[in-house]
Amino acid sequence: MTSTTQQSDSATDDEFLWLEDIYGQKPLEWVRSQNAVTEAELVNNQFLADEQRLLEVLDSTDRIPMVVKRGDHYYNFWRDREHPKGLWRRTTWESYLTDAPDWDVLLDVDALAAAEGQEWVWGGAMFLRPTDGGPYRRALIALSPDGGDAQRYREYDVVDRSFVEGGFDIPVAKSRISWAGPDALHVGTDFGPGSMTTSSYPRTVRTLRRGEPLESARLYFEIPETSMMAVVVHDQTPGFERDIAAHIVDFYSSRTFLRRGDEWVHIDVPDDVNVSLHRQWLVLRPRTDFELDDVTYRGGSLQAARLEDFLAGQRALTTVFEPDAHTALQSWSWTRDHLLLNLLKDVSSEIRVVNPAQSWTAEVLDACPPLHAVDAYAVDDEDDDAGNDYWLVATGFLTPTTVVRGTIGGTHVEVKASPSYFDEESFTVSQHFAVSSDGTRVPYFQVAAKDLALDGGNPTLLSGYGGFEHAMTPAYSGVTGRGWLERRTADGRPGVYVLANIRGGGEYGPAWHQAALHANRHRAYEDFAAIAEDLVERGVTRPELLGCTGRSNGGLLVGNMLTQYPHLFGAISCGVPLLDMKRYTKLSAGYSWIAEYGDPDKPEQWEYVQTFSPYHQLQEGRKYPETLIWTATSDDRVGPVQARKMAARMKALGVGNVWFHEALEGGHAGASDNRQAARMHAMSFEFLWKALTGQL
């Protein structure tokens, strides 16, 4: 495919470069003026009522409080109407089993924000493993000042319920931190010039001792500036304490090192092999086929070996999982004695329990209904009594999420269930396959009324992502149920929701992802377009009633629907998107995505990158669908400027049906609390419904 416009490669010829000044007065004035126009069109009494219904879902006290076991307690982070910034809390297992657990609040983020005059957003907690079986007490708390990826890390004592006076306190940055012991941290952060990569992540990791200033931390590990990120983690597993370093070259290439004495020892496998260590085991997951001692191991498979044997030169690997045309490995988790494999079989979950003590034999765990997603992972592999216990988190488009706990070799029982938030009984889920332009069969899920009329008259929302080997799987969403499925046209038709499983994702393993990299990016877009055409051919909808939505890389996806397939859609909602693929490597974390898209600064790669750069594919005089482009000022991953520039260029070209909205807080998620999330969802749904039903 060739470019349809002749755009200069020089950033100085970009007429909207001024909008890249994220917090500049003039750009923010432009943002506020655009927000006012969009809100005047969309926000009315009905919008506010719909927004409130979505907020009820997000704030519901009947939601499942997901927990993580540490020692004798089960920890949870919780947001609701009374605590919009959230509570970090814990309870016991006996209490968690009740309908109303007795929660012990450890940190009230709303109270903290009020006391410190800073709009803190919770980023998680990282515990120091206690010695000699004592209770968990010290943790590093991550807090973002604006919902972005940059966070401050502060040492907290869960017994005293306070930050440790004189304790560790790492300033706001895109940091990667690990406990190195009771009185030390391995810190990858912004130490000043030369300490961050061109991808805006840590280039060096230093060891910080308790009581010393950050600038005195000793250099421990470093990588070239052009790589993506340096990480060091301390494995705190009793009997297997060790430091592991990762030189992350790009999203799909890394080198893993093990500290032995004063040296880093490279675990010698190809860079595109994922390496993980668990106790005595080395586990490898190659992205492409690789050969070791005349044996070829397939991409997407999983191998295991004893770590010490491998380091000593014994390279015989045991294949634990082998993919096929329908089945792909998504993740794995260790219990004390077993390995849990989470698989997708034509995008439905399958779980296998592998026993290393019995030659790595595997059995299927009977816990996965068709067209559902079930994730299995260990409860606490180091617990003497619960070491072989596992969680099962099961969900489906019309099946509220459940949490089950089981024991390998025993039974599993339901622990918690999410309530129903919409009339699921009126709908049905089906899976279909569209044929892309190169003949590839591409699956998609359809959620529609049981009495769906196949006459092309149904407002339909098609959602997708198609990147970074991320699989789009079935999931229950009260927000989608209320915000889209339960809407009704004037003649009483509900919305239809469709989820695409296009190439670029990970639904069929790394090969499915690699099929849409770099110059082959258009395969993802061709797949998505094929699904749109299949929906019309099957009589589900017609182009003027078909909308699409995507965020981040999904925003790039729907941006290409806008510029390359405008005839297939009546409306497009494009969120926190990549759109200017000439400048993306220079904006926020964009440089780290070159492995996915290509390098626009290399002329031979710009030749193909420009063909899927929506900002450069816009044409004056062309008719485009109704379009909403939305973002967040504080998004420091993709950044708001690509969305700003796309909307501004469309308006300058005379496109009158483009709308823009930018949340002035919220990070890459577009929202930092439930209120903001409800506004974001309501705005997208309201825009799409109005646009498709002729109300704009």
Catalytic residues: 552, 668
Q: Report strand pairing: 73-78 vs 242-250.
A: unpaired
Question: Nearest Cα to 674, choosing from 162, 55, 7, 4?
Answer: 55
Q: Which three-class secondary structure state does DSSP give residue 195?
A: coil
Helix (H), strand (E) counts: the chain: 14, 39
Residues sharing a CB contact under 8 Å with residue 603, sequence separation 6 or more, in sequence order: none
Q: For residue 504, report the phi and psi dihedrals to the nearest 5 degrees.
A: 100, -30
DSSP 271-296: TTEEEEEETTEEEEEESS-EEETTEE
* Residue 371: strand, helix, or coil: coil
Distance CA 546, CA 568 (A): 8
Instruction: Specify the long-range contacts of residues 65-74, CB closer than 8 Å, at least 24 apart.
Output: 65/96, 65/101, 65/416, 66/393, 66/403, 67/91, 67/96, 69/379, 69/380, 69/383, 69/386, 70/127, 70/136, 70/380, 71/130, 71/135, 71/136, 72/135, 73/104, 73/136
- How many CA atoms, within 13 angstroms, populate the side-chain half-sphere of residue 668? 18
Parallel, antiparallel, or unpaired: how do β-strands 242-250 and 253-260 relate? antiparallel
3-state secondary structure 204-221: EEEEEECCCCHHHCEEEE
Closest of 251, 292, 255, 289 to residue 271, by C-alpha: 255
H or E element, residue 311: helix 307-311
Which amino acid, residue 46? Answer: Q
Cα 305 to Cα 295: distance, rounded to the nearest angstrom: 14
Tokens at residue 367, please? 């816990």
What is residue 24's three-state secondary structure?
coil
**Which of 536, 598, 607 has the alpha carbon at shortest distance from 565?**
536
